[in-house]
Amino acid sequence: MSELDPTYYLYLSALLFSAGLFVVVSKRNVIFVLIGIELILNGANLLLATFSRINLNAQIFAIFSIVLTVCEVAIALAILLNVYRKYGTSNLDELQEISNE
């Protein structure tokens, strides 16, 4: 019945953060970049949840950050929808070329 060492969760949150960073840097689709941002924020939330055993305020902070993430995704997808209607692509490199013209 022994519990796992909680430091595994810290390592998992580090992995979530770096995998999200990899996705944000390497993938070229806007929705993929949003998925990477979700991974990064989930890494931060897992860290906060692990440390909420020491200080309960961490858990409250994590709940606030989840709500703010939902706002961010809703706004980002509305903006993406407008960009797609105007330029017909959701590829970051093509959008960069359009804005350079």
Distance between CA atoms of 23 and 34, rounded to whole angstroms? 9
- Considering the complex, state which of residue 80 and residue 101 has its C-beta at the smaller distance from other proteins: 80
Q: Is 88 left (phi over 0), alpha (psi -120 to 50) or beta?
A: left
Nearer to other proteins, 19 or 101 (CB): 19
In angstroms, rounded to a whole number, what is the distance separating the alpha carbons of residues 23 and 4?
Answer: 29
5 three-state secondary structure:
coil
* CA dihedral of residues 27, 33, 37, 40 (deg, nearest 10): -10
Of the pair 26, 98, the CB lying nearest other proteins is at 26
> Min. distance of Cβ 40 from other proteins in angstroms?
10
Minimum Å distance from CB 100 to other proteins? 17
Give the shortest CB-101-to-other proteins separation in angstroms.
20
